[in-house]
Structure 1
């Protein structure tokens, strides 16, 4: 298992799942990805930390019905100053959803949306450096923002996070850019205006690595998940879109040989 250094500034650093059934989620992700779990304790509101081997990989928390939000994965971007980043984001057209707060002995966080209403988090580490695995089945391998406001989203994240982006394709059928950190593409922005209905917010999606995407899909279905888009070979690997038993969506991607 490869140890992942702390994510570069502006890059994804952590993910967590807001779920209506924390116990069911642990059973599912444990069976599918081999994760193990440890409750952080009452002082952290029952937050559950997931590990792959001995290294942190994700978090799980209860979805409060009062939030009136579906179960979903949240992607957190690395910041050195959460308050300053929230200020920059709101100035660039974003909106604060949960104000910056301290997580004792761990770091500082905030939740916000971009101009396309894509929901994401900020993480300013101070004891918790985010997920610590790389190039491993069951670990985050890639991230994607799908949005109807493609140009506006790229401008927002370049302005707020200093992303260096490259256009991969610029046709009406497939308009896509990647953002690289230390020379490595870590995420993509897809123009969803051709297929996302009007009014649907932008969506951040995490791709988990798999040694065998088809076998992982079998495990997902056997353990109560669903297939949204079957596995297919692409120039970027074998990909699939799935959900867990309560409908939280994520993608799978094959790992390089």
Structure 2
């Protein structure tokens, strides 16, 4: 393990079971439960987990924005909406790529980016 590097990220979830189903369906993540109030995610690119909480993580309230990469941005957007996520900002271009923002079923804001075609 490297010292002084980001090692783990934790995010709140009002409904752990719902978020586990959502991220499994949309992004293919796995989960390992550590009791009824915590689930670590696996195969997500960075280690982390969801903890039971009655609040959510949004950049507007000062939280960091977690950004995922996809080589099929439109497909990712369709999977997000099909699985019950809410599009917060439609696909837009920025220098170096395109991205969209979404809310997971627990209200946490995420973004997904892809390279310019």
TM-score normalised according to structure 2 size:
0.82
Q: Which of the two has greater strand per residue?
A: 1
| Structure 2 residue 20 is matched with structure 1 residue 35 | no
Aligned partners of 1:49 and 1:56 also within 8 Å: no
3-state DSSP class of the match of 2:7? strand
| Structure 2 residue 10 is matched with structure 1 residue 16 | yes
Cα separation, 1, equivalents of 2:15 and 2:72? 27
Matched with 1:243 is 103
Shift of 1:216: 0.5
3-state DSSP class of the match of 2:64? strand
Aligned partners of 2:8 and 2:46 also within 8 Å: no
Shift of 1:38: 1.0
TM-score normalised according to structure 1 size:
0.40
Aligned partners of 1:213 and 1:254 also within 8 Å: yes
CA deviation profile, 1:179-228 (whole Å, cap 9, x unmatched) = xxxxxxxxxxxxxxxxxxxxx64331110111111111111100110111
Cα separation, 2, equivalents of 1:27 and 1:12? 26
Structure 1 segments unaligned to the other structure (5+ residues): 74-145, 147-199
Structure 2 segments unaligned to the other structure (5+ residues): none
Matched with 2:43 is 52
| Structure 2 residue 114 is matched with structure 1 residue 220 | no
Quote the RMSD (CA, aligned, Å).
2.7
Structure with more contact order per residue of length (Cα contacts < 8 Å, sep ≥ 6): 2
Cα separation, 1, equivalents of 2:43 and 2:88? 25
Aligned partners of 1:49 and 1:59 also within 8 Å: yes
How many residues were matched structurally? Answer: 117
Aligned partners of 1:227 and 1:243 also within 8 Å: yes
Structure (1 or 2) with the larger CA radius of gyration = 1
